[in-house]
C-alpha cells in the first residue's frame, strides 16, 4: 500500500513540475505557417496563408473572421498531415 501511494504521489509531483504551460497547442503555434486575415472595405475578410514565406493558397474572401480562421485551420492541418506522411 505504501509503495502504491508513494508511486502515485511521485507521478503527480513529476507531472506538475514538468508541465509549466498547460495551454493546448493550436495550428497558430506552428512557426513555419503565417496566417493573414485582412478586412475588406466592402465587408468580409480575405485570408492568405504562407508556409515558409511562400503563398500556399490564393487569397480567399470570407463573410466573417471566424469563417476565415476556421478555413486557415483546416488548410494548415491538412498540409501538416501531408508533410508528415511524405
**pTM assigned to the model:** 0.68
Q: Which residue has the cell 508556409?
A: 51
Instruction: Give residue-wise pLDDT tens across range 18-77.
Output: 667 677 777 777 788 999 999 988 889 999 999 999 999 999 999 999 999 999 999 999
Q: Does residue 86 carry a pLDDT above 70? A: yes
Q: What does the domain layout of the chain look like in residue ranges?
A: 24-85
Q: What is the pLDDT of residue 4?
A: 66
Q: How far apart are CA 25 and CA 79, in angstroms?
A: 17
Q: Which three cell numbers stand for residue 84?
A: 508528415
How many other C-beta atoms are found inside a 10 Å radius of the C-beta of residue 31? 6
Instruction: Give residue-wise pLDDT tens across range 44-60.
Output: 999 999 999 999 999 99
Judge: domain 24-85, CATH 3.30.160.
yes
Q: How far apart are CA 42 and CA 70, in angstroms?
A: 21
Q: How far apart are CA 64 and CA 68, in angstroms?
A: 7
pLDDT band at 14 (very low <50, low <70, confident <90, very high): low
Amino acid at each position: 500500500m505504501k509503495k502504491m501511494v508513494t508511486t502515485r504521489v511521485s507521478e503527480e509531483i513529476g507531472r506538475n513540475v514538468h508541465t509549466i504551460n498547460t495551454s493546448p497547442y493550436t495550428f497558430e503555434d506552428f512557426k513555419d505557417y503565417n496566417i493573414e486575415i485582412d478586412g475588406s472595405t466592402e465587408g468580409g475578410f480575405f485570408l492568405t496563408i504562407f508556409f515558409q514565406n511562400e503563398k500556399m493558397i490564393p487569397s480567399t474572401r470570407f463573410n466573417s473572421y471566424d469563417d476565415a480562421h476556421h478555413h486557415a485551420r483546416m488548410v494548415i492541418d491538412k498540409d501538416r498531415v501531408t508533410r508528415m506522411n511524405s
